[in-house]
Structure 1
Amino acid sequence: MNRIFSGVQPTGNLHLGNYLGAVRNWVRMQHEMESIFCIVDLHAMTMWQEPAALRQATREVAAAFIAAGIDPKNAIIFPQSQCRAHAQLAWLLNCVARVGWLNRMTQFKDKAGKDRENASVGLYTYPVLMAADILAYQATHVPVGEDQKQHLELARDIAQKFNNDYGTDFFPLPNPVIGGPATRVMSLRDGTKKMSKSDASDYSRINMTDDAEAIALKLRKAKTDPHPLPGLADLDEKGQFKAEIDAARPEAVNLLSIYAALADRPLMEIVRDYEGREFSVFKKELTDLAVAVLGPIGSEMKRLLDNPGEIDAVLGQGASRARAIAEPILQKAEDIVGLLHV
């Protein structure tokens, strides 16, 4: 059986990049294979979190999942910490993974920065816990962005070494699911940087909870350039912007790509429709589209967040379903490595 696993850290409001790059794709995937969508609160703890804020952020991510169209009667939605198989399997896999493998993880180097001696051990072993997240469900498919490809490759290496060490084929090697267009949504203030919830400026992103007025203001202030919008001659044979256009006009490329993704239409069609036109006209129509798509999601998120008991009930049911899958897999893994069950 094909089974998909993916997760989001509860470290602040989800934004347009999260929606277009991940959540919207999950809404489609839930109808194609068994789907498990996790709020990875243990991963969030690799950097210090204020406890009350962590609980609230966990509910916000759950609300975003549900409001965007993930059906909790179909897919499993739950907090990572409520299925202890993740942490327990992570220890087994820590004893399989090699230090040299973790030393090659670029995300640790990026997040730890120059003061890596003061980084938490959790941040260093984060990729092993991610492998446990996936393997605890014997997931066959994992949606990944560019920044997670290396971690999935490590999960495959760990699964393969476990199987080799113990002469088994117990863990499947999970396959990446690469998203479609606009999987990399860039900042509205700097088209060379990825849209991020950690950016100091709220004008750099559209949050999934933003109302129509906030969306309109942010898009009106979005950085552009002084030239008319690019045209079909600026696309390559695959219908994507040529590298030189992407480098010279990153903001124009970003806004047109966002429009195409929100409209769920090929980029070539959008470029053809707006070729040579002024940004002012385009921004107004992009705003109307963004409000039409995100407005209902934001409204439903706010309704859910006003009713935390409803969210908690969904998460509790999801955690129970997750444990029913993961605990037998963990027990079998413990049997394989020789742990005694008494």
Structure 2
Amino acid sequence: MNEQRVFSGVQPTGNLHLGNYLGAITKFVALQQDYDCIYCVVDLHAITQDREIWGGPEGLRSSTRQVTAAFLAAGVDAEKHIIFNQSQVCAHSELAWIFNCVARIGWLNRMTQFKEKAGKHRENASVGLYAYPTLMAADILAYRATHVPVGEDQKQHLELARNIAQKFNVDFAESAAERGYPDGFFPLPEPLIGETAARIMSLRDGEKKMSKSDPSDMSRINLTDDADAIAKKIRKAKTDPEPLPSELEGLEERAEARNLVGIYAALADQTSAQVLEEHGGATFATFKAALAELAIEKLAPVNAEMRRLMADPGHIDAILTDGARRAREIADPNMNIIKDIVGFIGH
């Protein structure tokens, strides 16, 4: 396959925050320059967890529109690329079932994210949460995507997707070859890992990832926060009494300082070393003021555009519906070939 195609998705489970924006959405915008991009609001993944996390039917609808608004406000072009919500394209669910029959239980037992999300109550977790990685593989491979932008917490899932693709190609090698695919039907998707991939941590605990599930709203900067809220959260962010160091080594044992410097670097499109070169020796009061000003400058236009878009849900829904139509134009023919390769009749 010569076409270079990116697939990625974001779960609609509550407020999007700075970590989502810097870790994923800004990367989506940049990838548009070099790839054919398919960006999905993964609402099927959202319901794998307890209802209070995804907010029930109204919460899910609202969050799905909010993620779509964030894509658009950040600069994803819905005309040149595809934005849609997962549940509108049946290929995701159909291929996930086929992959459930290709993947091995031992593979899923090694998935660390299930262990983290299920916690001590693993027996009460949904089957969907356990099988989440096979659906993620289907998300990617229904489009025969060649590349997937991944953070540290998704590397294992992409490796599983590659294993599933490889096993399918081996299991159905003869059938695929008869239909013109001598090397197997699925490509093995490659990870796209940014050189300065932003890992944004909690403003209240530099050892914990920034999360929408954290009970403290002060732990994160939401994309819907106004300028006053952003400034207040940064001003009250946890720090230590020492001034900023001038060298990177000085951040090694200072998680909160390292996090704030990393946030500044990501927003300014700089390295942490460049930030320290400019702000090394400053007190946190001075640095936080500079960080708040930068964060407001970068996020205020996104916030304003998201609010404008969210005020017209019909427009967002129309974009998702059109995106789903275009996604089906790619996925449905692939599914027909997959079903034929497997041996299903009447598709």
Q: Using structure 2 for the length normalisation, give the TM-score.
A: 0.94
Q: Is the 8 A contact 1:21 1:179 kept in 2?
A: no
Distance 1:140 1:107 in 2: 24
Q: 2:236 aligns with which of 221, 224, 235?
A: 221
Corresponding residue of 2:291: 286
Secondary structure of the equivalent of 1:214?
helix
Corresponding residue of 1:74: 80
Q: Is the 8 A contact 1:131 1:154 kept in 2?
A: yes
Q: 1:321 aligns with which of 319, 326, 329?
A: 326
Q: 2:270 aligns with which of 236, 252, 265?
A: 265
Secondary structure of the equivalent of 2:133?
helix
1:58 aligns with 2:64: yes
Distance 1:290 1:79 in 2: 29
Deviations 1:3-43 (A, max 9, x none): 00000000011110111111001101012100000000000
1:235-274 matches, cutoff 5 A: 235=248, 242=249, 245-246=251-252, 248-274=253-279
Q: Is the 8 A contact 2:198 2:262 kept in 1?
A: no
Corresponding residue of 1:239: none
Taking only aligned residues, the RMSD between alpha carbons, in angstroms, comes to 1.0
Q: Is the 8 A contact 1:156 1:173 kept in 2?
A: yes
Query: How many angstroms does 1:245 deviate by?
Result: 3.3
Distance 1:69 1:245 in 2: 33
Q: 1:133 aligns with which of 112, 132, 139?
A: 139
Distance 2:80 2:6 in 1: 13
Count of aligned pairs between the two proteins = 332
Secondary structure of the equivalent of 1:81?
helix
Corresponding residue of 2:224: 209
Query: How many angstroms does 1:182 deviate by?
Result: 4.8
Q: Is the 8 A contact 2:261 2:275 kept in 1?
A: yes
Corresponding residue of 1:25: 27
Question: What 5-or-longer segments of structure 1 have no aligned partner?
Answer: 236-241
Bigger mean CA deviation after superposition, 128-137 or 257-266 = 257-266
Secondary structure of the equivalent of 2:38?
strand
Deviations 1:60-117 (A, max 9, x none): 0000110011110122100000000000011111111111111111111111111111
Q: Is the 8 A contact 1:137 1:326 kept in 2?
A: yes
Question: What 5-or-longer segments of structure 2 have no aligned partner?
Answer: 177-183
Secondary structure of the equivalent of 2:244?
coil
- Return the letter of the residue paired with 1:112: A
1:135-154 matches, cutoff 5 A: 135-154=141-160
Distance 2:81 2:28 in 1: 9
Corresponding residue of 1:99: 105
Q: Is the 8 A contact 1:16 1:185 kept in 2?
A: yes
Distance 1:149 1:160 in 2: 17
- Return the letter of the residue paired with 2:335: L
Secondary structure of the equivalent of 2:326?
helix
Secondary structure of the equivalent of 1:6?
strand
Corresponding residue of 1:44: 46
Secondary structure of the equivalent of 1:37?
strand
Secondary structure of the equivalent of 2:192?
strand
Corresponding residue of 1:160: 166
Secondary structure of the equivalent of 2:16?
coil
Q: Aligned pair in 2 of structure 1 residues 156, 182: CA closer, same or farther (>3 Å)?
A: closer
Query: How many angstroms does 1:179 deviate by?
Result: 2.3
Deviations 1:99-155 (A, max 9, x none): 111111111111111111111110110000000000000000001111111100000
Corresponding residue of 1:193: 208
Q: 1:122 aligns with which of 128, 133, 140?
A: 128
Query: How many angstroms does 1:181 deviate by?
Result: 2.1
Secondary structure of the equivalent of 2:6?
strand
Bigger mean CA deviation after superposition, 46-55 or 136-145 = 46-55
- Return the letter of the residue paired with 1:23: I
Distance 1:182 1:176 in 2: 13
Deviations 1:190-241 (A, max 9, x none): 1111100000111100011111000000000001100010112xx2xxxxxx
